[in-house]
Amino acid sequence: MGQGSPAITEHGRDAEALRRICRHGRQRQAERLCVFHRQRTDLVEAIWSEFGVQSTTLVAFDFSSLVVLEHLRRRLERSKQGEPGEPEIRGVFIFNGGLFTDGHSHPWFTTPILRRLPNRARRGMGRSFTLFKMMVGVMWSKGYKVTDAEVRELHNALGRHDGQFYTAGGAGFVADHKAQGDRLDFGCLFHAYRDQFPFVVGGSDEDPFEHRQVDLAQLRLGKLGLQIERLPGGHLTTNGQPKPWLD
């Protein structure tokens, strides 16, 4: 969470400016979803600027990890040009997200298929609740008996504001990460910032998408002071087993 002015008009800008940014981001994502993490980073940085955020903690889940990595890379690039690093970063926390390009392990029937759907098919995503339930069921641990009500809640949330379309579009983030491997390598960024603010990365024991990431983080960076947390449950362990998070 950031610290700054609650007024969006503090610097003479109004809410309409932010709405224009959001609309532009949605248009750009529709045009070229393969680099959508850059537009999402643009949007996050624009919101920080709009609210006058002075300091923040970067928290990411799932493919939002690429937004964190993109911002950290931009800070390095800007510092080389003499630009100030704003806002101040207090820490970084990434859970069940992509860190290393060789750590992705997505089942073939999930994102690998979704990223190949044409736009017209993406707009029909989620119309069949039964098909949706079959596809997302892998996100809970095998021992968790997910109910139709819980799946329906996720289905309804993703259905807002073309969410199903962007869920399919966002499935290309693995290819995006690999294409940007040099810029978005977590190891290099950790080395660059580890003396400036703390890093915590975590993963679920039964996460089918990114379970190898924490193993690689432990192998490559564990001896360098990276804090690594492992929790029980599947990809959506925050829903299936929330108690470890509270503890």
Q: What SS3 string covers 51-85? A: HCCCEEEEEEEHHHHHHHHHHHHHHHHHHHCCCCC
pLDDT at 109: 60
pLDDT at 219: 93
Token pair of 219 as six digits: 């192998």
The one-digit pLDDT tens for each residue of the chain (247 residues) are: 444 433 333 444 444 544 554 454 444 444 444 457 788 899 899 999 999 999 999 999 878 899 999 999 999 999 999 888 889 999 999 988 888 988 776 665 666 566 666 666 555 566 677 777 777 777 777 777 878 888 888 888 877 766 666 666 666 677 778 888 889 999 999 999 999 999 999 887 767 667 788 888 999 999 999 999 888 776 667 766 666 666 6
Residues in the chain: 247
Token pair of 1 as six digits: 């969470």
pLDDT at 11: 40
pLDDT at 198: 96
pTM above 0.85, yes or no: no
What count of Cα atoms within 13 Å lies in the side-chain half-sphere of residue 94?
25
What is the C-alpha end-to-end distance of the chain, expressed in Å?
Answer: 20
Contact 152, 129 (CB under 8 A): yes
User: Could you report the per-residue pLDDT of 162-195, keeping only the tens digit for each?
Assistant: 666 666 666 667 777 888 888 999 999 999 999 9
Token pair of 204 as six digits: 């679920």
pLDDT at 9: 37
Strands 199-204 and 227-231, how do they pair? Answer: parallel
pLDDT at 179: 81
CA gap 6, 33 in Å, rounded: 31
Token pair of 27 as six digits: 């248009």
- Residue 93 sits at φ, ψ, to 5 deg, of -130, 120
Q: Could you give the C-alpha distances from 72 to 62, 169, 192, 197, 246, in angstroms and in order?
A: 17, 24, 9, 12, 28
- Domains annotated for the chain, with CATH where assigned, are 15-238 (3.40.50.1820)
- The SS3 assignment for 18 reads helix
